[in-house]
Structure 1
Amino acid sequence: MNRLDWFSVFKYLVYAALIANAALFFKDDWEAASHLFRDGLPFARIIEGFAPSIDTAAWVILLLLFELETCQLTDEVLKRPIGLIIRGLRALCYVVIVYAFTGYLGKALGFGLYVSADIPNACALVMQPFSLLVGLDEYRALTAMNCAGIAGDLFVNEQARTLAEAGTLTQATRLAWVDVVNSGTWLLILALLELDVRPRVKELFPGWVATASRLAKYLLYAIIVGAAVYWGLFGTFLDFWDAFLWIAAFIFIERNVFAWEREPVASRADERGFTDEG
């Protein structure tokens, strides 16, 4: 198997791992929602309960659409109705991703609802019932078995009926805001990438705009790497692993775009098929 084939295998393994991650995020969101929304999840707040899984699913679809447009389909095919379908699906993904960003923001702001608990100890809330915050999107039922081990300053969210220790609340809040920064940064990268795959639009701007766009993406990717490192140190392995996979996936897409831009327009229809020219 030659080098190009190994590259393709690795690329599609990364894509498959991202699809698997979407299922894992849904599982985590489902478990967290069972604690946060005991009385039922209102439709208007679905994005708060399932922001990571909805966001990941939309990004996976968008990633595959970019792969089709920049690597797999010829320009001739993209001029047909399939091109309009791809652009329409991509626009829908953009809407969902922006919607997911509002979910991350709402979740981060929701930690501001915690107030100092006016109770002698955690066991006073066992009969309510309450859940115990143990990490971002991680909760456990508060029981007579585990309440005695909860010490220090306590904070309570009466609306969600959740209890948190001061240190756990601080760390979960920080991780939630890292989610917001990460989501917003990816939106900016997406806007610049959309410009890259629209050469006619790029021609409307002076040459320095392309250079500025490239430098801006370097900065934005550095922020993404910083978020991944933070998750690796203070978050869950799933968040770190997912961030690593997305960085790898967009390296592939950037490589596709770079090759696509350098490819003579007349030769694309002859040279690009379902083999990786990335």
Structure 2
Amino acid sequence: MSHPIDISEEAGIRYLHFGSLWIQGAMRIARPWHLELDYTREMMASLLMRDDSRFPRNVLLIGLGAASITKFLYRNFPLSKLTVVEIEPRVVAAARQFFKLPDDPKRLNIVIADGAKFIAGNDKNYDLIMVDGFDEDARPGELDTLPFYQMCRARLNDNGILAVNLLGRSRGYAASLGRLREAFEARALAFPSCESGNVIALAATGEPVRIELDDLKEHAERLKAETGLNLLPTLARIEEAQTCPGGVFLL
């Protein structure tokens, strides 16, 4: 990465930038464990896909940024082991210095590596894979290719879930979603996320995800009570964006 890593602060929020005004991550200084950006909250819809107290036990995160998603999972899922792959060492250093990234090698394994190369050379399986990796020009590179998505599927456990931040750019996200659907035999969907233009996609392996919307909302309410994260607006958007035949969410 040739661009500098910049830190800015405004109205009690600290931001991470890669040599531009484009925001790579954010943290409310008074609430460092809170998910400040809309799209990071929306990626957590993946947590609702399996109604299992053990989910997720093993999580792979590709792209660290300001460590918001990493910190949320670390704090709220104490039985989970997290592996974070970040290509740029300076991002890791910034996350430790400015964004309160925990230092706990037993539960949190930080790997400096290219995400696509890491997953290609790794034979470990995960319950949940979350992909949020972009360069300074907001390009995902190999992290938005059919081979990469196929490798993600191969690294998921039975009943695993993949969540991807597609970042809806001017050309849209249809091609990205098409690659995901091909890799997961059509078991992928995307829903427009928030004003920032981010688009979150989910894909699944194993048993079909078939959840009554009322049950999904009940699960979201439990998650809110336990973590403070409110996914009910996300569910409302999913309900509007997907057909949900008969009031059932399918993936």
Q: TM-score range by the shorter chain?
A: under 0.3
Give the structure-2-normalised TM-score.
0.25
Larger radius of gyration: 1
Higher share of residues assigned strand: 2
- TM-score normalised to the size of structure 1? 0.23
Which one has the bigger helix percentage? 1
Query: Of the two structures, which has the highest relative contact order with CA contacts closer than 8 Å and spacing of 6 or more?
Result: 1
